[in-house]
Structure 1
Amino acid sequence: MRTPRAARLLGCGLLALSLGLPAAWSASAHDAPDGAQRRTLTLVTLTGPGTAAGRADAATLLARQDSVLAAVGAGAPVYRWTTALNGFAVELTRGQLDVLDDLRGIAAIERDTVRPLAGRTSTAAVRGATSSPRLRGGAGVVVGVVDSGLSPQTPAFADVPGLGPDPRRFAGECATGDGWTSDDCTRKVVGARWFVEGFGPDRIRTSESLSALDDLGHGTQVASVAAGNAGVSVRVDNRDAGTFGGVAPQARIAAYKACWGAPDPADDGCSTADVVSAVDAAVGDGVDVLSLALAGGEGIDTLQLALLGAAEADVVVLGAAGNTAGSAYAAHAGPWVTTVGSAVGRLSRARITLPGGRSWTGGGRPTDVTGRAVRAQDAPAAGASLLAASQCRQGALDSRLVADRIVVCRRGGIGRIDKSESVALAGGRAMVLVNERPGSVTADFHSVPTVHLAAPAGRAFGRWVARHPDARVRLSRVTGDPGNRRTAPWSSPGDPRGVALKPDAVADGDGVLGALPEATGRGWGVFNGSSAATAAASGLAALVRAEHPAWSASRVRSLLVTSARPVPGSSVLTQGSGALLGRVPTSHLSLDVDAAQWRRALRRNTLARLNTSSLLLPTGRSTAVRTVTNVGRRPEYFSVTARGFTTHRVSVRPLAVRLAPGQSADFTVTVTGPTTPGRLDDGMVVWLGARGGVTRLPVALTR
């Protein structure tokens, strides 16, 4: 029996992207006896757009779907999609797949898979909050969050005064279910839906709620970072940890639960069928910003086609790049999606100083402490193993040996903040947490003053403590610049052979504080990964939409990414245009793409020619044309230069333009140099405005 064709794309143009059926699609998955068969959904996308593009009505699309289903002899679909795309999810046998593969008008055929969430939540490690830098922003904008749901009880989502005007175009619903009533939808949480048929209601863990209620915590954290209320008091273990505020605190939130917990946490994730259904619903509801902090998928798959429909509906779409550098390229390959990678490094710092002045710097926010230090493995409690003691597990430390001491604990075994609690319970004065292997350091909110050292510094300090058990050391907070960002080593890079440069930008993705559901037993926690970065980027998009409601989604996307600041030492295939700003951009140049152009370019296999805010070009001699528009309110001169390229000559013409408000100008980027296959050369095309704005376009020369 032959394998179904990878896919047919829109129209007759072929696109060199991975749209194939996974190798795991075996005949046994479809042809097993009824009693043993595990349901496998097939995702079918028909050619042409959904109703969001304004070219067809739902009745016409449903009739086309019925015709296809009848032709293959399929039963009723589990899901139908008519808004963001024209398609359905249905159970098919191998024979029905073969018939489907021969039909005309099919854009894509894909097996349903479970995608991972692009972040990891820690309920045990809470970084101390700081005063909310922004009390307003995002009013009238709805951020749709496709994730694990939302906990409406957290104060980050309270229906507080000062939210501003109600959204004008949002018309979503409040779907009730386990633990979620209509009262849980408010002026802050304006919509709630849930989608589980792809993942399977029989496959979720018993603690999960068949509703939009968040039991994992991931969706609540993402939503709170993007649009949580400002000035919210943070308390952890009955201790004041400061105040919290989301990036766009006045924005409203619509929760679309499509990610679920399984009995084995390793199986947690988001069925593509459920996610596509959530996107279809969010577009129909009228969200302004759509956040997907989940990874997985390759090329222009079914989800990317649904997100194309969202872009056609003028929704700003943001997706997480993923955290699998070395094993997978950045997710969300579609150029209509703002793909966000992770940056690390801007954390509060602390220092350990020895007698004589030698010191090591790490993460932390301690009060000044001076005292004698002891290695935890040298102070085991009776009956405790040296490993348990070295990791400062609860009950493993001898209080007689650690009382009033600065305890040196090894990372691993238990949560970081659990270690400082063990030190506190044993009477320790402070803690030095040391990595055992290469890895990040953090600035968590601990039970005792703490400094977190990287592995080399930790080993050196531990050796010194062993030789000087009676010497006194000092822990102190480092003031000033919190440190330089760098691209996270685990942040997924872009595919040099893709149709668009990815990721588009990076944002902070390490130790980001967010709200948690009450079910976790802890109201706050930090999370890491491109989920956290995408949450912040989604909030920024809401700020821009609120401040410039007449701007298109394409313009918002362009202004966000071209205003980013480069991360030193990182390729554009890992950082895009750089680290996103924490405020509304002030530059005045935009690269606009009309919503109708995305699908036309996909059909003609000319996505690389679109007026995107980045360039992915072949080495040797090549050219690309882009168009900039003055979105400011005054005439302005703009000059341009190419920076950072090492082995190629990159020139831009014209070198300067004067643009009136709303006026546009074309510019041409020309590349000359060696044609070494597979070798990367990269840099930036930088436009400088006379009024101070900077617009950066990342350029990668790879093919």
Structure 2
Amino acid sequence: MTPAGRPAGRPVGRSASGAVAVLVALASAVLGLAATPTVQAAPLSPAGQSSEGTALHLVTLRGPGLAGAALAGDTTGVLGSVRLLAQQERALALVGDPAPVYRWTTALNGFAVRLTPAQAAILADDPAVAMVERNSVRPLASLPTSAAAAGARNSGRGGAGVVIGIVDSGLDPTGPLFARSTQLGARPRDFAGACEDGEGSPVCTGKVLGARWYVEGFGADDLRATARLSAHDDDGHGTQMASIAAGNAGVDVRVHDQRLGRFSGEAPQARLAIYKACWNAPEPRDDGCATADLVTAVDDATRDGVDVLNLSVGGPARIDTVDLALLGAAEADVVVIAAAGNDGGGAAHPAPWVTTVGGTVGSQRRGDVVLPGAPDVQGAMVASRHVGPARLVLAARAKAPDATAREARVCTPGSLDAAAVDGRIVVCDRGGVGRVDKSAAVDLADGVGMILTNVRPGSVDVDFHRVPTVHLDRASGRAVKRWLATRPRGSATLAPRSSARVSRAVTRFSGAGDPASGVLKPDLVAPAVGVLGAVPPRPSGVRWDFVTGTSAAAATTSGAAAALLSRHDWSAVETRSALTTSTGRLRRAPATRVGSGLLLPQDATRPGLAYLLDAGDYRAWWEGDLRVLNTPSVILGPGAAVATRTLTNTTGRRLYFSSRARGFEHRVRVTPAALRLGPGESAAWTMTVTGRGPRLDDGWVVWRGATGTITRVAVAISR
């Protein structure tokens, strides 16, 4: 992209550029209008509401930004920017020339501006305007950690020469995960981002090549008092996502006195570019990411030249302005990865140009409570060392003199008598105070371990406790208490299991697709429960934590995409095809919950076949062209019985490929049943559905190559 395009995407209210003023003046001259003044914007609330009765709106004009214009062969560079800004000035003139807060020219053509309801209606009725939306705040796609946790990651290479853009809550760059490393390889030459440090020390480290931040949509006056106006991470979520996607390899995971192995991001040799668009408010329920800030971050990331763009942010189950910005990124050949969301409803980011990622339970760190004369009881345990045999004591029976029985039962800090706890494993009930606070109370009273028991149905959770801990569900907790009631001086052992249990079950919170949409979502799923990642230093000194949510699944997939790009000279479309056609099957889960299946990064390195399309086809589809997109998935709605896709041989050899329809209750026939394709050669196949079946049926069309490659396309049939 040309340097002249860069200033047009920056916030007008915060750091107006002389270049953007010149371009706006040129655009105004084209129209014969006075240049719009770039003045400081009035303070906004998180929803963009000002005291003047206006609200911040996102206005997208028809047609592409500069990224899409380059695909179409239209004018780009300075003249292209002037052309787009002239269109923006024409739209602004219809409503009295208000000063925009942001302008966008790369990923899309539009602006964010404060409007009255009447002004918004005028622009919505303008044929030149594609969409008008009010600014809103979206949640990060993470939840309180539940179930058990994945262990430290252990891959050592992947992602060299690739830049992953992380649109999130910023980054804490301190520590070895984000340090400059000789393993990173040469600096990518095409990345043009900058480091805008704002308040605090620099974020860029050599591993981190770019850092920008955006707050006008959220509102600087609505931030938590401790928030920093910089790309530094005040929340921890952005640091976790960056570490999961691309943290350096071989970093020791140490928490308190426990060593939990070595950690590596999915693409440890990749570089990072940070786009902070998510903020903390005084009330945690108001935390999130304003859509105006998100769109500006995507616009800048596209202009900067990231290779992969990660958006671990929820959203509506419809295509909105954020998704239109992601369309522009896809047109610039960026691999776009986004989270499916965590409300258990419709999947966020339903556009076909986004690889939307849902969540599975994944690996689970487990531990046993070993009770002599009784079956072992299993629960969630993150500690790596055994404890015991040691005497068990119910917390309620180890009450400090000045504590109440209830305070002791739930292990409130200060409620336990050290004389009764010293050297023992304490059984604490859940509730009342935080889980980690309970183990701190046990540690303070010189206990050596804790058994945390649910007293009602609920999750079992992993945390970095002050003493080794096994968290049990209600039934298991009752079993331990019954055993202890008959052996009041009994001893037990807390024993971590040598291997983690892997579950391919989809989580209940993961967003599901709409079979009537014509686009299968999510595209795939990845582990989303208790995924380990780095966080900014906590008051306790801990720099690691677990995250649960489709945010973690998206970050893992972004790292996998970066690793593929570093190994192959692939386009974003080919990378997306490889990720989604090489997945693992999940039984008893509909395609509208899991898409093509479980991410298998190693299998994606040799897909054999690819489903390719021109990136310009996405915009044509969005604008109403009825052409069939050659996506690596199929949905057949009511009345439809035939679907066609085109595959391309990517092996570099002339090979024979055979097909098979699997998993359907309808009769599904694939023609031709087999193909012989030379290197780079393409051919179409057709599936025909007949017979009776359930209202919603799904399965796969599987193509197997002569060298053992397997390429699967997920199919949903809605009747």
The structure-2 alpha-carbon separation of the partners of 1:455 and 1:622, relative to structure 1 and needing over 3 Å to count, comes to farther
Q: Paired residue for 1:107, among 130, 149, 160?
A: 130
Per the TM alignment, residue 81 of structure 1 is displaced from its structure 2 partner at its CA by 0.6
1:312 correspondence with 2:327: no
State the match for 1:530 in structure 2. Answer: 550
Does the 8 A contact of 2:150 with 2:363 survive in 1? Answer: no
Match in the other structure for 1:15: none
User: In the alignment, which residue of structure 2 is the partner of 1:18?
Assistant: none
Q: Deviations over 1:451-499 (max 9, x none)?
A: 2223332233333333432333343333346232211111121122223
- The 2-side partners of 1:683 and 1:468 are apart by 54
The 2-side partners of 1:600 and 1:294 are apart by 26
After superposition, where does 1:587-666 map in structure 2 within 5 Å? 587-604=607-624, 606=626, 609-619=628-638, 622-646=641-665, 648-666=666-684
SS at match of 1:513: strand
- Deviation digits for residues 317-369 of structure 1 (CA, Å, limit 9, x no counterpart): 000111101xx311001011011111114112222343335233222245343
In the other structure, the counterpart of 1:8 is none
Q: Quick check: 1:128–1:242 contact (8 Å CA) kept in 2?
A: no
1:146 aligns with 2:146: no
* Maintained 8 Å contact 2:143/2:342: no
The offset of 1:619, in angstroms, is 4.7
Q: Structure 1, residues 76-131: CA drift from partner, whole Å, max 9, x if none?
A: 11111110011111111122123223321111111110000011477x9996964x
Q: Determine the C-alpha separation between the residues in 2 that align with 1:460 and 1:125.
A: 20
Q: Which amino acid aligns with 2:193?
A: G
Contact 1:74 1:92 in 2 (8 A): no
Measure, in 2, the Cα distance between the counterparts of 1:566 and 1:658.
26
TM-score by length of 1: 0.89
2:605 corresponds, among 565, 578, 585, to 585
Q: Does the 8 Å contact 1:141/1:251 carry over to 2?
A: yes
Partner of 1:84: 107
Distance 1:472 1:688 in 2: 56
Deviates more, 1:295-304 or 1:137-146: 295-304
Pair 1:363 & 2:363 matched: no
- Residue in 2 that maps onto 1:693: 709
Which residue of structure 2 aligns with residue 672 of structure 1?
Answer: 690
Alpha-carbon displacement from aligned partner over 1:493-532 (angstroms, at most 9, x marks no partner) = 1122223111111111122221222366532222111111
- 1:451 matched to 2:478? The reply is no
Cα distance change, pair 154–297 in 1 and its aligned pair in 2 (3 A): farther
What code does the residue aligned with 2:232 have?
L
Structure 2 letter corresponding to 1:596? G
Aligned counterpart, 1:554 = 573
Q: Which residue of 2 aligns with 1:565?
A: 584
* CA separation of 1:454 and 1:669: change in aligned 2, threshold 3 A: farther
Please tell me whether the aligned partners of residues 619 and 672 of structure 1 are also in contact (alpha carbons under 8 angstroms): no
Partners of 1:38 and 1:94 in 2: CA distance: 9
What residue identity is the alignment partner of 2:177? A
Match of 2:181 among 160, 166, 173: 160
Q: Distance in 2 between matches of 1:313 and 1:209?
A: 32
Q: Aligned partner of 1:144: which letter?
A: G
Partner of 1:178: 199
Aligned residue type for 2:575: V
- Indicate whether 1:247 and 2:262 are aligned: no
Distance verdict in 2 for CA 1:284–1:376, change over 3 Å = same
Give the conservation status (yes or no) of the 8 Å contact 1:587–1:692.
no
1:273 deviates by 0.5
**Distance in 1 of aligned mates of 2:616 and 2:400:** 69
Q: Which stretch has the larger CA shift, 79-88 or 564-573? A: 564-573
RMSD, aligned CA: 2.5
The residue number in structure 2 matching 1:3 is: none
More displaced 10-residue stretch of structure 1: 428-437 or 550-559: 428-437
- Contact map agreement 2:701 2:714 (CA 8 A) in 1: yes
Which amino acid is the alignment partner of residue 205 of structure 1? Answer: R
Instruction: Write the mapping of 1:222-621 to structure 2, written as runs, cut at 5 A.
Output: 222-237=241-256, 239-325=258-344, 328-364=345-381, 365-368=383-386, 369-480=388-499, 482-518=501-537, 522-548=542-568, 550-583=569-602, 584-604=604-624, 606=626, 609-619=628-638
2-side partners of 1:674 and 1:125: how far apart? 40
User: 1:619–1:673: 8 Å Cα contact kept in structure 2?
Assistant: no
Give the drift of 1:675: 7.7
User: If the length of structure 2 is used for normalisation, what is the TM-score?
Assistant: 0.87
Query: Quick one: structure 1 residues 250 and 126, their matched pair in 2 at CA, closer, same or farther if it must change by over 3 Å?
Result: farther
Aligned to 1:5: none
- Change over 3 Å in CA distance of 1:128–1:682 after alignment to 2: closer
Displacement, 1:590? 1.2
CA distance in 2, matches of 1:277, 1:35: 20
**Quick one: which amino acid aligns to residue 235 of structure 1?**
R
Deviates more, 1:102-111 or 1:276-285: 102-111
2:657 and 2:473 map into 1 onto residues whose CA distance is: 44
Unaligned runs of 5+ in 2: 1-43
Deviation at 1:231, TM superposition (A): 1.5
Task: Check conservation: 1:190, 1:253, Cα contact below 8 A.
Answer: yes
Q: Which residue pairs with 2:67 in the alignment? A: 52
Q: Which shifted more, 465-474 or 588-597?
A: 465-474
Q: CA offsets, 1:140-186, max 9 Å, x none?
A: 100000001111223211112221011121101111311144xx423
Point out the more displaced range, 406-415 or 531-540: 406-415
**What secondary structure sits across from 1:483 in the alignment?**
strand
Query: Relative to 1, partners in 2 of residues 1:377 and 1:688: Cα closer, same or farther, differing over 3 Å?
Result: farther
SS state at 1:518 partner = coil
- Cα deviation for residue 421 of structure 1 reads 2.9
Q: CA deviation at 1:391?
A: 2.6
User: Structure 1 stretch 637-646 or stretch 281-290: which is displaced more?
Assistant: 637-646
Q: What residue identity is the alignment partner of 2:710?
A: V
Matches of 1:544 and 1:557 in 2, distance apart? Answer: 10
Cα distance in structure 2, aligned partners of 1:438 and 1:651 = 46
Q: Is the 8 A contact 1:192 1:212 kept in 2?
A: yes
Deviation by residue 1:633-682 (Cα, 9 ceiling, x = unmatched): 22222222222223x22222222222222112211122224487xx3222
For residue 9 of structure 2, what is the aligned residue in structure 1?
none
Q: Given that residues 84 and 109 in structure 2 are in contact (C-alpha distance below 8 angstroms), is that contact kept between their aligned partners in structure 1?
A: yes
Indicate conservation of the 8 Å contact 2:463/2:545, yes or no: no
Change in 2 beyond 3 A, CA 1:280/1:351: same
* Structure 1 residues not aligned, in runs of 5+: 1-28
**Residue in structure 2 matched with residue 6 of structure 1 by the alignment:** none
DSSP 3-state at the match of 1:346? strand
Letter in 2 for 1:598: Y
Alpha-carbon distance in structure 1 between the residues aligned to 2:259 and 2:377: 28
Identity within the alignment, %: 51
2:240 to 221, 226, 231: 221
SS of alignment partner, residue 545 of structure 1: helix
Task: Specify the alignment match of 2:55 in structure 1.
Answer: 40
Please report how far the alpha carbon of residue 614 of structure 1 lies from its aligned counterpart in structure 2 after TM superposition: 1.3
Which range moves more in the overlay, 262-271 or 426-435? 426-435
The range that moved more, 438-447 or 172-181, is 438-447
Change (3 A) 1:485 1:411: farther
Q: After superposition, where does 1:191-206 map in structure 2 within 5 Å?
A: 191-206=210-225
Conserved 8 A contact 2:244-2:559: yes
Partner of 1:12: none
**2:430–2:453: 8 Å Cα contact kept in structure 1?**
yes
